[in-house]
């Protein structure tokens, strides 16, 4: 069930997403719950690759954006490569491949996240 992050998907996964967000706050943006991906796949009846488009779309969501960012950063190759452009745009950096620029932008992002949840 690939596609966008719709109101229907949000409604069905609200508890999972809220728990993930609370866990992110608790860990200061460092990690998601271990079962986050499997619970989300089960909830949305999705395969692993089917999470890609909803996660990219979730970058536009005011509340769950940090969940999508942490998920994208936690993915392994090859799917992680598909997140480089959306993350670069979000972080306002030229390319996700420049380590120093990426790390600086991510540090600023998580600092802002943590400040807003202190």
Does residue 34 sit within a domain? yes
Does residue 2 sit within a domain? no
Does residue 16 sit within a domain? yes
Does residue 1 sit within a domain? no
CB atoms near residue 24 (< 10 Å)? 24
Please write the tens of the pLDDT for every residue from 39-81.
Answer: 999 999 998 788 999 999 999 999 999 999 999 999 876 667 8
Inter-residue contact 40 to 32 (CB < 8 Å): no
Number of domains in the chain: 1
Please write the tens of the pLDDT for every residue from 20-47.
Answer: 999 999 999 999 999 999 999 999 999 8
- Domain containing 82: what range? 7-116
Does residue 49 sit within a domain? yes
């Amino acid at each position: 069930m690939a596609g966008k992050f719709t109101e229907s998907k949000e409604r069905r996964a609200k508890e999972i997403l809220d728990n993930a967000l609370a866990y992110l706050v608790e860990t200061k943006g460092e990690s998601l719950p271990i079962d986050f991906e499997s619970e989300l796949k089960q909830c949305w009846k999705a395969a692993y690759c089917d999470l890609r488009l909803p996660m990219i779309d979730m970058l536009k969501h005011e509340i769950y954006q940090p969940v999508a960012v942490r998920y994208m950063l936690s993915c392994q190759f090859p799917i992680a490569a598909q997140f480089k452009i959306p993350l670069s745009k979000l972080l306002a950096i030229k390319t996700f491949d420049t380590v120093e620029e990426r790390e600086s932008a991510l540090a600023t992002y998580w600092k802002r996240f943590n400040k807003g949840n202190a």
